[in-house]
Amino acid sequence: MIVYDGSKGPYLLDEVVKNGHSFWWDITAQRWRSSDDAAVQQIIDTFDPLPVARQTAEQRVDAAAGEARARYITVAPGQDAVYNLKLQQA
């Protein structure tokens, strides 16, 4: 029988699938099921969601920063030379 730890977050299911297993809630039996209870329980017990969550957050921040920069920076051939010239003139 699987003992699910909901504090592991949404990345736990990805980790189970990445390791070649499946994991689902059986609504009829009102319990968690898996393709291999022992292996999936081991993944649940040892999974640390922080590195995956941190990487995902960093990617989102980078994407948002890129979008913000794009609102203020002109992307065109030779535009970097114009920016360098303006910097030298300042």
Domain identity same for 25 and 57: no
Q: What is the pLDDT of residue 35?
A: 95
Residue 81's H or E segment, with its range, is helix 79-89
Domain identity same for 41 and 70: no
**By residue range, what is the domain housing residue 30?**
6-46
30 assigned to some structural domain: yes
Q: Of 7, 51, 42, nearest to 23 (Cα)?
A: 42
Domain identity same for 25 and 56: no
pLDDT tens digits along 8-53: 888 999 999 999 999 999 999 999 999 999 999 999 999 999 999 9
In the three-class reduction of DSSP (H, G, I as helix; E, B as strand; rest coil), residue 16 is classed as helix
14 assigned to some structural domain: yes
Question: Which two structure tokens, joined as six digits, stand for 26?
Answer: 């059986």
Question: What's the number of domains the chain is made of?
Answer: 2
Q: Of 73, 86, 16, 10, nearest to 2 (Cα)?
A: 16
The answer on pLDDT for 80 being more than 90 is no
Q: What is the pLDDT of residue 84?
A: 84
- Give the residue with greater pLDDT, 20 vs 90: 20
The tally of CA atoms less than 13 A away on the side-chain side of residue 69 is 7
1 assigned to some structural domain: no
